[in-house]
Amino acid sequence: MSETITNLLTENRRYPAPEHFAAQANVDASWWAKADTDPVAFWAEQAARLDWHTPWTADHTWKPTDGTSIPKAEWFAGGTLNVAVNCVDRHVAAGRGDTVAFHFEGERGDRRTLTYADLEREVSKAANALTTLGIVKGDRVVVYLPVIPETVIITLAIARIGAIHSLVFGGFSAEALRFRVDDTRAKLVVTTDGQYRRGVAVPVKGAVDAAVAGIASVEHVLVVKRTDSEVEWTQERDVWWHDVVNTAADVHEPQFFDAETPLFIIYTSGTTGKPKGLVHTSGGYLAHASWSHWAVFDAKPTDVYWCTADLAWVTAHSYVLYGPLSNGTTSVIYEGTPNTPTNTRHFEIIERYGVTTYYTAPTLVRTFMTWFPDGVPARFDLSSIRLLGSVGEAINPEAWVWFHEKIGASRSPIVDTWWQSETGAAVMAPLPGVSTLKPGSALRALPGLTTLVVDGDGVEVPHGSGGFLVIAGTWPGMARSVWGNPERYRDSYFARFADRGYFFSGDGAKYDADGDIWLLGRVDDVINVSGHRLSTIEIESALVSHPAVGEAGVVGVSDATTGEAIAAFVIASAAVSSTLAADLRAHVTREIGVIARPRDIFVVPDLPKTRSGKIMRRLLADIVDGRVLGDTTSLQDETVPAQLAAIVAEARTSATG
């Protein structure tokens, strides 16, 4: 029998699309049938929603790999457009310049509002400044900034002049930044003097100085004054934003570029191996991001939309910047953490701006569950919310239900989206005016896309079975290559199922009885217990369904008898009793069977999470098995692994003593 993943959990709760939502939704059920008839024609129709300077000459071409050749996809080649013009100028030209593009909320409480007309002027100034600094089409610019308006402005300005941006999370180490600057051969790095993090002004410029030292390609470092921190200054190389951007002309004549012109390079996290710089191009990516934002988030002119992702993550590329801006949406961006200065900060922001669409990560939802098990404090009015969204990893059914009931007041649909840096934009998600929602499932591929669950030979598995998630065919938003390493692009995504032409996502998944898809986490996170390949996500979901557990992280660890055993790290949402571990083992056994019962259960104050909110399960396994932890610079809190190691050591001492 070919390799698969065992299906453990069944979720039976159902939430049909509310009648009031379905009556006004942008997309109805007919869109799937329309797209199935001719997917390429469907995407050409969506691309026509954009403003093109020159029509394209070919809708789509695809040269799959034979296992050795490099796969190559093109969408709308020959057509020319300007991505920034589509996101800003065309709305101003249409008379919507007074529409708010962004409400900015600083961590300290400072606020700024930018209309589309404001954004057009600021982006034009930044584009002129970039030209003055010698940046031209095809040059790479690394942006190392927090969530502030200048990050939006410079990113759009880079796109406007045909250069290529690579955004790096402002909390990454100097070493991580250096790798990205060196790998792209960046000509310019944009940064700040410092940034605010949990109420403290943290220096940044020094890390950039270390990162660019000795890299010959870097000609300038452009610095935004954010915290008034003292900085070292390299004459000729370093320039202040206020000196070159604020003083530039606020009118810029755009050029127009072929649809396959590279737009940005985004790096995978690098938690395993060397990060991959994924290259996304302009026309196809923007068509996919724009349409999926409009369809999945049911974007309306009256919406106030908030995607909580940091601007450096792909989530924000597609669903803070390019998707919402191309649709003329009003968005909120927030600089700080959810608990600065108090853990109600997000509720305050939702109420202040009248947020209608709130798109966040399952990790934050589970954190809210531990902070507010009874729901949002009554003093906050979240009645403006009409739609919720989930992104980043599979959301546990209990967290989904809490999100729906406590944040969405049991009336707001949740669009649980599945996609990756590699896919560019959403691939699977409910359509909120159509789909009957299932807590924990992204359901099925969006119109124009096809996802399958297959076994190790690429054969589709029966309904009710698990396996590997693949995408059949190509789509406009897909990454075109790995920067400087097309062979790695082929080997990472297309080589495994080259005979069938599938894109391999690296995720495990299962079909339910209806053929809807449930994510089971990364294939690397699957636990092999006595020959049974078990999903960490399903075991975590069983644990979180216990009323005493708010969050859980599950990993496979070494075991002399079974090969691997299950270790669970749980954050309690109630007082911890002496019988909690036994209660949880019994609960998991009842929910999904004795095969999934954890050998180890550790009650912990926090889990090691990346800055994007994902649990870094690799570190949990290393802690239990006593391995060297390696790089932890991508964590929200680098002190967590040491805390957990002490808890594990104490538990072992107690067990043997």
Is the pLDDT score of 1 beyond 50? Answer: no
Average pLDDT over residues 224-242: 97
Structure-block tokens of residue 369: 């569950």
Cis peptide before 324 (omega within 30 of 0): no
> How is the chain split into domains, by residue range?
83-255+301-355, 526-656
pLDDT for the residue numbered 463: 95
Q: Torsions phi, psi of 306, nearest 5?
A: -135, 110
Please list the residues that pair with 508 across neighbouring strands.
Answer: 468
What gap in Å lies between CA 269 and CA 632, rounded to an integer? 11
The H or E element that residue 285 is part of is: helix 283-296
Give residue 119's pLDDT band: very low, low, confident or very high (50, 70, 90): very high
Amino acid in position 166 = S
Angle between helices 536-544 and 580-592 (to 10 degrees): 120
**Per-residue pLDDT reduced to its tens digit, 478-490:** 999 999 999 999 9
What gap in Å lies between CA 416 and CA 428, rounded to an integer? 8
CATH topology assigned to domain 526-656: GMP Synthetase; Chain A, domain 3 (3.30.300)
- Mean pLDDT, the chain, rounded, equals 93
Instruction: Write the secondary structure of 447-495 as one string of H (helix), E (strand) and C (coil).
Output: CCCCEEEECCCCCECCCCCEEEEEEECCCCCCCCEECCCHHHHHHHHCC
Is the pLDDT score of 99 beyond 90? Answer: yes
Q: Strand 304-307 to strand 330-334: parallel, antiparallel, or no bridges (unpaired)?
A: parallel
Amino acid in position 401 = V
CA–chain centroid gap for 597, Å, is 31
Which residues have CB under 8 Å from 335's CB, separation 6+? 104, 105, 106, 107, 146, 147, 148, 195, 196
What gap in Å lies between CA 388 and CA 410, rounded to an integer? 11
Q: What is the pTM of this model?
A: 0.89
Burial 501-536 (b: 16+ CB within 10 A, else e): bbbbbbbbbbbbeeebbbbbbbbebbbebeebbbbb
What gap in Å lies between CA 112 and CA 122, rounded to an integer? 13
* 3-class state of residue 5 by DSSP: strand
Burial 186-218 (b: 16+ CB within 10 A, else e): bbbbbbbbbbbbeeebbebbebbbebbeeeeeb
pLDDT for the residue numbered 527: 84
Which residues have CB under 8 Å from 109's CB, separation 6+? none
Please list the residues that pair with 54 across neighbouring strands.
Answer: 80
Amino acid in position 632 = T
What gap in Å lies between CA 579 and CA 655, rounded to an integer? 15
**Per-residue pLDDT reduced to its tens digit, 309-343:** 999 999 999 999 999 999 999 999 999 999 999 99
Give residue 628's pLDDT band: very low, low, confident or very high (50, 70, 90): confident
CATH topology assigned to domain 83-255+301-355: Rossmann fold (3.40.50)
